Amino acid sequence: MNGVLIVTGASAGIGSTTARIAAFSGWQRIVVHYGQDRDGAETTAAMVESMGAQAYLIQADVAKPKAIEKMFAKVRELKPGPIGLVNNAGIVTPHGSIADLTPDRVRHVFEVNVFGAIEVARQSVALIRDWGLGGSIVNISSMAARLGSANQYVDYAASKGAIDTFTLGLADELAPEGIRVNAIRPGLIETGIHAKGGQPDRLERLAPTTPMGRAGTTEECAEAILWLLSERASYVTRSILDVSGGR
């Protein structure tokens, strides 16, 4: 596949696994974006290249529009091809209740999870239009958008609710151009995000409560993402796919 796949937040978790499986699935050029974890991004890039694909390691703080602009200036240096975007970069803050949702905390969550994601999508759409070879976008939401995450991460849940709405609107806007926009909502997935949120035992506690009785894997999320990006999903847009074990 001669296109360019851009994966934001590819240093760990769902982003890293998606980049790796994308290389295995035939994507030949993969932009491995990271914010702070260069070691993790380098590991991802090495795995991508071990499968015969070309990895382009790019750092950018997605909370800063100028940094995203510089990132896409580098992407533009690549030869034209169809564009795939996995709009994955995001953060979660320590769990807490409404009393903990200070303006600074909420602002930072939205700067990364919403404002950053929208700007990454905006830059990607401009690139798709300029190159004129088509493209597809998959935003990474969360089951928190539907469940609310009371007493845990209400601000994170609200930011992912915004991503759901953004996905629907952008899909409607771009469908006449043949640009598909979808999203997945991961549920309880085996990643380090739970520890970052101050609940390292969260999966152990909650996974048995899902209808399937277990946590999901990053591989299961990646397979859903890559299907949505692919021509196998050529008639799928404006869809939000729950990858949540029925939760």
| Residues acting as catalytic residues | 156
Residue 243 · residue 210 · CB < 8 Å: no
The two tokens of residue 218 are: 């990053």
- By CB neighbour count within 10 A (0-12 exposed, 13-18 middle, 19+ buried), where does 52 fall? exposed
List, in sequence order, every residue forming a beta bridge with 58; answer none if it has no partner.
33
